[in-house]
Amino acid sequence: MTASNGQPDTGDERTDGPGPTAEGTGGTGGTGGTSGTGATDDTGGAARADTVASVVAQWRAVHPGLDTGPMEVIGRINRCAALLQQAEDAPLRRAGLSRAEFDLLGALRRTGHELTPGELARETFSSGAAVTKRLKRLTETGLVERRADTRDRRVAHLRLTDAGRDLVDGLLPEQLAYEKAVLSALAPEGQEELSDLLAVLLNGLEGHSGALRA
């Protein structure tokens, strides 16, 4: 499995509650927390009636000369991400895992060899501190084991235990079925098109991540 959202993270988002709310997370000056529908497109027809459409209509009323196209794309991506995070991953929750923890286990499983904490951080787009925290719990629960490097005791090599491997192999089909259900609002061809478009966007963002941070 790849990382859950493809974004670097700096902490453990694991919670015992329902997860972060989607309110106020749209990234469009209020997209995430606004409700309501009824926005119309420039031709007077009914636009996509979601929370982002409502916010975009409000911004157009305030600044009619602005191009809100980027807001409509980024706002919807952020809103979907917030709602997915809020809903959590049901199969993982039942297993007592956060998505970030499952990403670590998945990285160890799919690469098929031992990884250092630094390599795991790169594989899962996580900070070193976040990986250290998650690994502590995963080793305590017997899912991951660490081996000290024979030449440098400060370096740890991590691998799945038998229990960790069995857990990943058992969860993966269930998790994929859950994600398929989440995407069921889109026809298969729509899912493929969306995947292709997001791949183009992701490649562009990853290629220009340094410039974007600057």
Give me the count of residues in the chain.
Answer: 214
Q: How many Å apart are CA 73 and CA 151, to the nearest integer? A: 50
CA angle in degrees (0–180, nearest 5) for 57-59-65: 100
Closest by CA position to 50, among listed 83, 7, 90, 86? 83
* Cβ 105 vs Cβ 89: under 8 Å: no
Q: How many Å apart are CA 210 and CA 100, to the nearest integer? A: 24
* Spans of the chain, pLDDT less than 50: 1-8, 10, 12, 14-26, 31-47
- Kindly state the tokens that stand for 60: 């157009």
Domain limits, the chain: 17-87, 89-214
Half-sphere exposure of 140 (CA within 13 A, CB side): 7
> Tell me: the pLDDT tens digits for 46-73?
446 889 999 999 999 999 999 999 999 9
CATH dotted code for 89-214: 1.10.10.10
